[in-house]
Each structure stands twice: as structure tokens, then as C-alpha cells.
Amino acid sequence: MDIQRARDVLQQAELLVTADGVQAALHKVAQQINLALSDVHPLVLSVMGGAVVFSGQLLPLLNFPLDFDYVHVSRYGDARAGGAMHWKVAPHESVRGRVVLLVDDILDEGHTLAALQQRVLALGAARCYSAVFADKLHGRSKPVHADFVGLALPDRFVFGYGMDIEGAWRNLPAIYAVKEQ
């Protein structure tokens, strides 16, 4: 997407969650994770690239020791609809015997998170939790539910706070939705 088109998309988008609302949701999910995992010393696996902003702001709010790594799997690329799963960096065997916390930006259809959980458990993780910044409410059944959720979003194409639109606007501090036609 060229710079002018990106600016036009943002100008026409609807603000769904302000930067203050995003930060409130971030602190809420951090508190939930602190209560549940403070005695565990988990391995936190951030799902690149969407979770980079969420992970980067979440980790300093966690008040327990942890190990950190990442995985990179995509079903979207620069598209607006999910496709085939592409593993760029798969979970390593370092998960064996560990409590793992998967951190992702959004739980949409749930296929990516379900595949990640299956892979981590197949590699021998003792337990696998998941934290998503946002859960999209679209009314369809999902193969997995997140253990920790920052906020719920409507069934719209959203971007900002790590979520992109055709590769752009992951860096926004708020969450926007593409204008409905």
C-alpha cells in the first residue's frame, strides 16, 4: 500500500478504541496474567508480527520471571482474508516440559492460535495458555478460546496496535475499523 492510500484508509476509518482504552485493556490483561502465572516462570512466545506491539508493552507489566521467544506464522500476509498457514519460525523444542504463554494480537477465526497450541503441546509443553489483545466477536464457533483477553471487538476489519491493513498502520496506538460500505 502506498503512503497516500494508507493515509486515505486511516482518514476514512472509524475509531473503535482510543489509545487510553487500549492502555486500559493492556493493564487489565496484564493483571489477569500476573494473577494466574506469577508462580510458574513461563516461556512467553510472541506471535510475530501482529503481537509485537502488544508483547512489547505487556512484558514490562508482568511481575514474575519469564523466558521469551517468538514464533512467526501467518494466514493473512498483506491480504484482508485468511488463507493457508505459513510457518516462518515454528516453536522450538525449548517448550518441552514448560508452561507456555502464547501472546497474539487478535483472535479472529482461531485457526492460527489453535495450530500454535497444538504444535506447542505436541512438542511436549506441560501446559499452554494464550493471551490475545482482542477477541473478534463474529458469532461463529472458534476452535480455541484465549485464556486472557484484553478486549472484544466487533466483526469488522480492524487495524492499529499491532494489527495491520495491507501491511500498514501496525504502529497506531488506537484501534480503527475500515469504514463500512
CATH code of domain 26-76+85-156: 3.40.50.2020
Q: Which pLDDT does position 154 carry in this prediction? A: 96
CB 157 within 8 A of CB 178: yes
- Of 66, 71, 76, the C-alpha closest to 47 is 71
Q: Which pLDDT does position 44 carry in this prediction? A: 96
Query: Domain limits of the chain?
Result: 26-76+85-156
Q: Which pLDDT does position 149 carry in this prediction? A: 98
Q: Which pLDDT does position 64 carry in this prediction? A: 97
CB 48 within 8 A of CB 72: yes
Q: Which pLDDT does position 82 carry in this prediction? A: 54
Q: Dig out the grid coordinates for 153 from the structure.
A: 471487538
pLDDT tens per residue, range 64-111: 999 999 998 875 545 455 556 677 776 776 899 999 999 999 999 898
User: What residue spans of the chain are helical by DSSP H?
Assistant: 3-12, 19-37, 52-58, 111-122
Q: Which pLDDT does position 1 carry in this prediction? A: 86
pTM of the model: 0.91
Q: Cα(first)–Cα(last) distance of the chain, in Å?
A: 20
CB 157 within 8 A of CB 174: no
User: In whole angstroms, how large is the CA radius of gyration of the chain?
Assistant: 16
Q: Which pLDDT does position 49 carry in this prediction? A: 82
Q: Which pLDDT does position 76 carry in this prediction? A: 54
Q: Which pLDDT does position 81 carry in this prediction? A: 52
Query: Which amino acid makes up residue 127?
Result: R
Q: For the chain (length 181 residues), average pLDDT per consecutive 10?
A: 95 98 98 97 93 97 96 64 65 86 95 91 96 94 96 96 94 94 71
Q: Which pLDDT does position 22 carry in this prediction? A: 98
